Amino acid sequence: MYQGSTESWNLHDTHMFDTLHGLLDASSPDTKAVVWWAHDLHLGDASATEMGRLRDEINVGMLCREHFGVDAALIGHGTHTGTVAAASD
């Protein structure tokens, strides 16, 4: 995934969104969800960054904004210690 194409990134995040959407569809209409199984790169809004503007990438946050509108709250989180695996680009 680190050196994958835009197509593989978009497929990955579309699958994560479809999973979230499926879980919500299987629940009562008042159900809300907190997505904790994805890091900030997936949960921000790609359309507001280079991801969407320059690389045509989408992410879960962007798909949630498009589908749920103002009912979607995208909240990042972080830590002051630890390590992360990340690509150089």
28-82 pLDDT, tens digit per residue, is 999 998 887 777 788 889 999 999 999 999 999 999 999 999 999 988 777 778 7
pLDDT of 1 reads: 45
Distance, C-alpha 80 to centroid of its chain: 22
Please choose, from the candidates 59, 22, 23, 62, the residue with its C-alpha nearest in 3D space to the C-alpha of residue 41: 59
Q: Rounded distance, CA 2 to CA 28, Å?
A: 37
pTM summary value: 0.80
Give the C-alpha separation, 11 to 26, whole Å. 22
